[in-house]
Amino acid sequence: MKLLKTILDVRNIVADGKRRGLTIGLVPTMGNLHQGHLELALKCRATVDILVASIFVNPMQFGENEDLDAYPRTLQADQKLLSDAGVDFLFAPANAEMYPENKSMQTSVEVSGLSTLHCGASRPGHFRGVATVVAKLFGIVSPDIAAFGKKDYQQIAVIRQMINDLSMSVNLLEVETVRSSKGLALSSRNGYLTEAENLIAPGLRTALLDAKSCIENGHTDFAELSRHHTKDLANRGFIPEYFVVCNRQTLLPAAATDDCLVILTAAKLGRARLIDNIEVF
């Protein structure tokens, strides 16, 4: 696997591949990789000729009081993992390569409706940062396919909407969430959990499974279900942010008649902010 630091280097590699009629896959990450990221690489590897991964801790998607500085940077270990997963090129640019200081950016990508819901409500500007950096990565790598994990359900919805709205020629590869043996969705932020919190954390998944089973058994008062499980999460030791039964297409709170649902949740546990989701029907 070759490490690329500049946009120009990536463009040259991609142009050469495209000249030879090869397909390009992209796995965008912020590093500190775990099995969930590697699953993205493995799934994407199986569908393309040239596989590019990126590692960039994107300052634009972090709020002022969030963990940008604390976010773990583990480039050496990540390189080995990506290489073993069959990645051909790793694009790991410096901040100045993505956001040159002498050319202040005047453009951002805002997926206006979806970005204000759920995680967007508690993290204003977050999805603008995500959509903008993903659009930049698409512009740099020109991938045929880009892989994202379904743990970040709302992020995928935002990116899907951006691709459609801006007529981007990228196919989304949506990859199932990888979980610990106890059911906790793998996330770089799980590293913030203490030993005691690690025992509590799988409770987020338990609450989702329980709510799913209530709905499958005919429960249609989704507001009541949300209240019940929010209280349940608080009793388990979380500080719940939201627990909402949503229409899977719009991510708006579901009506009792909707038939494709997803339950989205976010909760704080100590220093970690955990998110998870489960599809119903």
Q: Is 115 in the site for ligand PAF (CB under 6 A)?
A: no
The answer to whether the CB of 54 falls within 8 A of the CB of 141 is: yes
Q: Is 161 in the site for ligand PAF (CB under 6 A)?
A: no
Q: Is 145 in the site for ligand PAF (CB under 6 A)?
A: no
Helix, strand or coil for residue 266?
Answer: strand
Of 27-35, 117-125, 179-187, 240-248: span binding ligand PAF (CB under 6 A):
27-35
Q: Which of residues 53-112 bind ligand PAF (CB under 6 A)?
A: 58, 61
Of 23-31, 64-72, 226-234, 268-276: span binding ligand PAF (CB under 6 A):
23-31
Q: Is 152 in the site for ligand PAF (CB under 6 A)?
A: yes
Q: Which residue has the tokens 């397909």?
A: 23
Q: Measured between alpha carbons, how far is 52 from 152 in angstroms, rounded to an integer?
A: 20
The encoded tokens of residue 247 equal 């229409």
Q: Catalytic pick from 37, 118, 126, 229?
A: 37
Q: Measured between alpha carbons, how far is 116 from 29 in angstroms, rounded to an integer?
A: 23
Q: Considering the complex, what minimum distance in angstroms separates the CB of residue 255 from ligand PAF? A: 30
Question: Sheet containing 239-247: which strands, arranged edge to edge?
Answer: 239-247, 261-269, 272-280
Q: Measured between alpha carbons, how far is 38 from 85 in angstroms, rounded to an integer?
A: 6
Q: Considering the complex, what minimum distance in angstroms separates the CB of residue 58 from ligand PAF? A: 4
Give the residue, chosen from 10, 14, 26, 30, that forms a contact with ligand PAF under the rule CB under 6 A: 30
Helix, strand or coil for residue 24?
Answer: strand
Q: Is 130 in the site for ligand PAF (CB under 6 A)?
A: yes
Alpha helices, DSSP H only, in the chain? 7-19, 35-45, 75-84, 95-98, 119-122, 126-141, 153-165, 195-200, 203-216, 222-236
Q: Is 119 in the site for ligand PAF (CB under 6 A)?
A: no
219 labelled catalytic: no
**DSSP structural state of residue 253:** B
Of 28-36, 62-70, 94-102, 115-123: span binding ligand PAF (CB under 6 A):
28-36
Count of residues engaged in binding ligand PAF, rule: CB under 6 A: 10
Give the residue, chosen from 25, 28, 120, 143, that forms a contact with ligand PAF under the rule CB under 6 A: 28
DSSP string covering 117-176, please? STHHHHSTTHHHHHHHHHHHHHHHH--SEEEEETTSHHHHHHHHHHHHHTT---EEEEEP
- Residue among 152 and 258 whose Cβ is closer to ligand PAF: 152
- Neighbouring C-alpha atoms within 13 Å toward the C-beta of 41: 28
Give the residue, chosen from 50, 133, 269, 272, that forms a contact with ligand PAF under the rule CB under 6 A: 133
Of 24-32, 64-72, 84-92, 110-118: span binding ligand PAF (CB under 6 A):
24-32
Q: Is 258 in the site for ligand PAF (CB under 6 A)?
A: no
Contact pattern from residue 182 through residue 221 relative to ligand PAF, giving x for each residue in contact according to CB under 6 A and a dash for the rest: ----------------------------------------
Question: Which residues are near ligand PAF by CB under 6 A?
Answer: 28-30, 58, 61, 130, 133-134, 152, 155
Catalytic residues: 37
